[in-house]
Structure 1
Amino acid sequence: MDLSTWNWKLLLPLLLFGILFPYEDWVSTPSCTIVPTTAYPNQEYVVDKEDNTEEDLKVMMVANLLLYGSEAGIFNQYFRDYYLSKFFMKSFHTLKPDMLLVLGDVSAKGFELTKTKWVSVLHHFHRIIGPFLELPFHVVLGDRDVGECSKLDVRSVQWLARSFPGLDSAGCGAFEISNVSFVSLNAVALLCGNNKLRFNVEGAIESESIDLQMETENISKVMDDSEKFSELSDNFRWRENAKSSGSGPVLLLHFPLHQTANGSCREGSIFEKVPSFFQRGSNALRSREFTDSGPHNLLHTIPPNASEYIFQALKPRIIFSAHTDEFCDHTHSDGTREVTVPAMTWRVRDNPGFVIATFHSDRRPVSVSYCSLARESHVLMVHMSFLILLLTIWLVANTPLLRSLR
C-alpha cells in the first residue's frame, strides 16, 4: 500500500467526523419564533432575539421529558437522551434564560417505580438539564409521575414532592422571582373526586386566593384558620374574589383548563404540523393508559367546575399547561391566555419543542416564543447516511477487486 492510499483512507473518515461535529452543534440549536398575542393581533412573526431588558424575566418552559432513568434502553440512552441533553445545553447558552419550569411528566412511568428507581430517574433528570441546575428551577407533577386517580397515593406524592424544589406535601407550590408571582398546582389531584389530595389542593388554592385578596385590600389582621381554610364541597363553593381577571399570579399546571371558546386552539402557520402518524401514536398511547380512571381523565383537561373555581379564586395573569404533547395558544372567555407547552422529547413527537416566556418589568403582556427542535427523522437520516458513507469507504479500501479497479 503506497503512502497516497494510506493518506486517503485516513483523511476521508476524519473529514466526515469533522463535518458531523459541527452538524450536531447546528442541529442542537433551537429555532424560536414569537407567538403574537391577541393584544397585538397584527404583530409579525419574527425571530426571538435578545431584546429583553435586564429587568425582564425570561423563563424556559418544557414538558413531558418522559425519562426512564436506569431503565432506558441503548437507543434512548445513546441517541434520544444524548440529543435531549444537547438541546438543553444549547438552549441554555443561546437563549440565556433566567429560570427553568418543567410542567410535568418528568418520568415515562414514574407511578410504577419504586423509590430506588425514582432516584435513578431524578439523577437522570439532573444530568439531562445540566447547566440549568445553576438556575432557579421548578417542577410540576404530571400524571405519569404520580399516576391516575386509581393509583394516586398520598405518601408517594409527599415523597416525590420533597424531591423537587418548592413543592408542598400536596404537590403544589408558590414562589416569586423578579417580582413575578407563580403558583403551581397538582392538577392530577383535581381530576380525582373524593380524594384527600384533591381537598389539599383546593385548600392551597383557597389559601392563595385569600393571600391575594389580603394583599389587594391591605388587610392587616390575621384571619382565623377556620375562616381562612373554609371547607370546600364537591360543588366548589368559594368566596368571591373581587380582583379583576389577569391580576393574579402566573398559574402552572400539567393538565390544561377546560376550554369553552370556539376553536379551542390557535396554532399559526409558522408552526409546522406534526405528521398524523405521530399524533395518532401519541394519543393512542395515552388512551390505553386511562381506560378505568373516570371521565375527566379521558378528556385530559381539568373539569369545568374546577376550572371555573381556579379562575374565580386566583384570577391568573397567564396560564401555562402541558400534557397534550402539542403547542396550543388559547384565550379563555374572560381574556385569560393559556399556553400549552409541547413535549420536549422524541418519544412522542418527531419535532419536539418548548416555550420561552418573557415577563416584562413594565407589566406589558407576557411575550411567548415557540421554540422548535430538530426532527428525529431528519437526524436519523443524516446518521444513517454517515454510516453508509463510512461503510462504503471501508469496502472500497479493503476489497481487492475494488482496489484493482482504482
Structure 2
Amino acid sequence: MREMAAWTTALPLLLVAALVTVEDMISAPSCEMSGHAGGDSSNPDDLKVMMVADLLLQGSDAGFADVYFRDLFISKFFKKSYERFKPDMLLVLGDISARGSELTKSKWSTVLQQFENMLGPFVGLPLHIVLGDRDVGRCNKLDERFVSQIASHLPGLDSAGCSAFEIGNISFVSLNAVALLCSNNALRVGVEKAIERESVDLRTQMKDATREATEPNAERASFSFASWRDNEMASGSGPVLLLHFPLHWKTRSNSGMINVVEEDLWHYTSEDLRSSEDRDMDLGPYEFKHTLPLNATEYIFQALKPRIVFSAHAHSFCDHAHSDGTREVTVPAMTWAARGNPGFVVVTFGQNKAVTVNKCSLATESQVAMAYMFIFILSIATILVMRWSHV
C-alpha cells in the first residue's frame, strides 16, 4: 500500500514533467542544412541572420484562438529559435500583415505591436522588414502615399519601400517587389531609381578599388553614370538581395524539357483575384508561378549582380540556382494560416564568402493540437488513477 501511495503521489509530478517535455518538443524547430556552404564557416565574426516571412498577422482583428493559441506558439517558436541559433539579426520578407492594405494607420500600429509582442529575445536585435503584397495591396490598389506612410514606420525603408544597409560587413539591398509588378506607376519608378543608385555605387566602388590596386598613387577617377546594361561586374559580386516575390525562373521537367515559370500574378491567376474575404478563409500555399516578370528579373541581375537572393510569398521552401549561377532561397511562411508546414531559415554569411542556409520546420497546428490532446487524456487518466487509489 505504501508503494501504491508513493506511486500515486508521484503521478502529478510525472504529469508536469510530461507537459514540459511535450511542450518543449513541439515548440523547438527541426533544422537541416540546405545545399552546400561552399567552405568552412565557423568564424565568430560570421553574420547569422534569421529570416521569416508571411506571418499574416491580424492585429486588432485577431480572434481568441489567434491571441491565446497561435500567437502564443509563434512566440515560443521565436524564443526556441533564438536559444538554438543566437542570430545577430532578424529579417521579415514581407506580408507581416494578413490584409495590411485594407487597414487604417491605427490598425497597422496594432499589427506591429502584435509582432513586437511575439519577438521576445529578438526585440533588441537589428530588424528589417520587406513590404509584401498583403501589406500594401495589389496593383489596382497600390497607393504611393499609403506605401510611403507604412514604410516610414518600418526600419530603414525609403518612401518607395526600398532600402540598402550593411551589417557585419555584409551589404543588403531590399526592394519593393510589389511595385516592380505594376507598370506606369510612381512607385515602380522609385524602385528602379533605387536599383540604379545601388548599381552605380557598386560599380564606383569596384572601379575605385581596381584603380587603387593598379595605380595606388593616382587620383580617384571621375565616374559618370552608365546604363545598367553596361555593368561588367561578375555574377555574385553584388549585395544580398531581399524581396517578397521570387524572381522569374525556369524549371526542368522529368522529360528534360525546360519550362518557363509563369510570372503574371495579377492578370492570369485566379488565386489572388478572389475577394479579401475569400483569401482570409483560405491562405494556402501559392504556386511558384507567382514571380517577378522576366524583364524585371533580368534588370535586377544585370544591375545588382546579387551575391544571393532571398524571397518569400510562395509559403514553402525552395533553394535553386538561376541560369547565371545566382542562388535564390525562398523562405517558407511562418504561420499556421498558410495551411502548409510553417518554417523559417537561418543564414550564416561567412567571412570566407561562404553562405550556409539552414531550413527549419516548425510543428503544424494539428501536431500541437494532438500533443495537447495527449496531455489532456493523460491528465484524465491520472485523476482517475488517483481517485481509484483512495477508494
* TM-score range relative to shorter protein: 0.7 to 0.9
Count how many residue pairs are aligned between Structure 1 and Structure 2: 358
Matched, 1:139 2:129: yes
Q: In the alignment, which of 248, 253, 276 is matched to residue 243 of structure 2?
A: 253
8 Å Cα contact 2:165-2:171 kept in structure 1: yes
**Matches of 2:62 and 2:5 in 1, distance apart?**
40
Partner of 2:59: 69
Following superposition of structure 1 onto structure 2, how do residues 333-352 of structure 1 map, counting pairs within 5 Å? 333-352=323-342
Measured on the aligned residues, the alpha-carbon RMSD in Å equals 3.1
Q: In the alignment, which of 162, 169, 179 is matched to residue 179 of structure 1?
A: 169
8 Å Cα contact 2:37-2:357 kept in structure 1: no
8 Å Cα contact 1:343-1:349 kept in structure 2: no
| Structure 2 SS opposite 1:169 | coil
* CA displacement, residues 298-322 of structure 1 (integer Å, 9 cap, x when unaligned): 9421000000000000000000000
Partner of 1:55: 45
Partner of 1:189: 179
What code does the residue aligned with 1:359 have? Answer: F
**Matches of 1:351 and 1:284 in 2, distance apart?**
23
Partner of 1:158: 148
| Structure 2 SS opposite 1:370 | strand
Larger mean Cα displacement after TM superposition, 323-332 or 351-360: 351-360
- Cα 1:284/1:386, change in 2 over 3 Å: farther
Partner of 1:23: 22
Larger mean Cα displacement after TM superposition, 69-78 or 138-147: 69-78
- Cα 1:16/1:298, change in 2 over 3 Å: closer
* CA displacement, residues 181-211 of structure 1 (integer Å, 9 cap, x when unaligned): 0000000000011111011000100100011
Larger mean Cα displacement after TM superposition, 139-148 or 5-14: 5-14
* CA displacement, residues 248-267 of structure 1 (integer Å, 9 cap, x when unaligned): 00000000000035269xxx
8 Å Cα contact 1:350-1:377 kept in structure 2: no
| Structure 1 SS opposite 2:91 | strand
Q: In the alignment, which of 295, 302, 309 is matched to residue 305 of structure 1?
A: 295
What code does the residue aligned with 1:116 have? Answer: S
- Cα 1:38/1:58, change in 2 over 3 Å: closer
* TM-aligned CA deviation for residue 385 of structure 1: 2.4
Q: In the alignment, which of 61, 72, 79 is matched to residue 82 of structure 1?
A: 72
* TM-aligned CA deviation for residue 284 of structure 1: 8.1
Partner of 1:104: 94
Q: Which runs of 5+ in 1 are unaligned?
A: 41-49, 231-236, 265-282, 292-296
Partner of 2:233: 243
| Structure 2 SS opposite 1:199 | helix
**Matches of 1:111 and 1:177 in 2, distance apart?**
30
Matched, 1:288 2:274: yes
- Cα 1:194/1:22, change in 2 over 3 Å: same
Q: TM-score, normalised by structure 1?
A: 0.80
| Structure 2 SS opposite 1:55 | coil
* CA displacement, residues 295-347 of structure 1 (integer Å, 9 cap, x when unaligned): xx994210000000000000000000000000001100000000000011111
- Cα 1:51/1:179, change in 2 over 3 Å: closer
Q: Percent identity over the alignment?
A: 56
* CA displacement, residues 365-399 of structure 1 (integer Å, 9 cap, x when unaligned): x111111112221111111222234345557778x
* CA displacement, residues 138-182 of structure 1 (integer Å, 9 cap, x when unaligned): 110011111111111111111111111111110000001111100
Matched, 1:367 2:356: yes
**Matches of 2:361 and 2:3 in 1, distance apart?**
45
8 Å Cα contact 1:261-1:332 kept in structure 2: no
Following superposition of structure 1 onto structure 2, how do residues 364-403 of structure 1 map, counting pairs within 5 Å? 364=354, 366-391=355-380
Q: TM-score, normalised by structure 2?
A: 0.83
8 Å Cα contact 2:241-2:307 kept in structure 1: yes
**Matches of 1:285 and 1:385 in 2, distance apart?**
37
- Cα 1:39/1:5, change in 2 over 3 Å: closer
